[in-house]
Amino acid sequence: MRPITTVLLSFKLYVTCVVTLLGGVLTSMGQEILEDYSNFLALEKVELSSGEIRLHKTIKEVDSTVKGAEYINKHRLFWNYLVVNFSEPLEKNTFASNKEITLSQDSVLSMMVSDTIFSPLVKKYNAQVIKKNSKKDTISMDEVLNVAVKFFSIENITPKGEYTARVCVGLNSIKNTEAIRMPFVEAFAFNAIMKNLRNEQYDVYNYFIDSIRGIYKLNLGIDKEERLLRAQGALFIQMLQSDKLKELLEDEYDLNKEVLPFVLSS
């Protein structure tokens, strides 16, 4: 009979070879991270100034011992965007401080697993990125830019006639202009912009502010709603013409293309 130590060593070598042939631990086992929603989804409690408790679905930091944790931990903004914008909202998410909270973590996880919007996205990502048994979609830079500029928004006109603007807050610009939504492209653009908004290499924020100042010099209408709509359109065009915004998106794609569920066409 062979010594036990020899058998164990042989077994370890065999396991190592199998994992290598399957393409590495991350590729062969990474799917575990998305097949159990409790790995990455959580119910967050926030106390409001009124004393009420508000609950939010959120992406949590994944335990590094979970296979494939990197797919979530390095891209939490990407995943949070999908959770917030591509899952059914909670029917009741605000509770008085003296009332029992009837919404549980388990019930939310169950809802998300059966969510007809979010769950198919998770399965598609799993197939295209982790299991690699489905071909990635091909997207053009024009399509990415078309989505990205919509995160730069002139949202209102003050009583003095000045513009108020925000970046990446609210989705009315996308909802009102995109008949067919591209969740992964939206999440990628959101993550890229927020990550680099103040990055001096691209200086996108200052370009955004300067664009608004330039638009303000134009008389775009007497009617407030018409003026606002025209100003927003002018801002979209200004951001579309930003070489630095395009460079930012290209750099972020190159940095993260292995974990993105689409291919950027040349």
Predicted local distance difference test score (pLDDT) of residue 171 = 65
Residue type at 43?
A: L
Contact at 8 Å (CB) between 71 and 30? yes
- Going residue by residue through the chain (266 aa), what tens digit of pLDDT does each one get? 444 444 333 433 333 333 323 333 343 344 479 989 999 999 888 888 888 888 889 999 999 889 899 999 999 999 999 999 999 988 777 778 766 676 788 888 999 999 999 999 999 999 999 999 999 999 999 999 999 999 999 999 999 999 999 998 666 789 889 999 999 999 999 999 999 999 999 999 999 999 999 999 999 999 999 999 999 999 999 999 999 999 999 999 999 999 999 999 97
**Buried-exposed string 80-106: b where 16+ CB fall within 10 A, e elsewhere:** bbbbbbbbeebeebebeeeeeeeeeee
Tokens describing residue 194: 């927020």
Predicted local distance difference test score (pLDDT) of residue 241 = 98
Predicted local distance difference test score (pLDDT) of residue 54 = 85
Measured from the Cβ of residue 155, the count of other Cβ atoms closer than 10 Å reads 14
Instruction: Give Cβ neighbours of residue 60 (< 8 Å, ≥ 6 apart).
Output: 40, 41, 42
- What's the number of CA atoms in the CB half-sphere (13 Å) around residue 206? 7
Predicted local distance difference test score (pLDDT) of residue 53 = 85
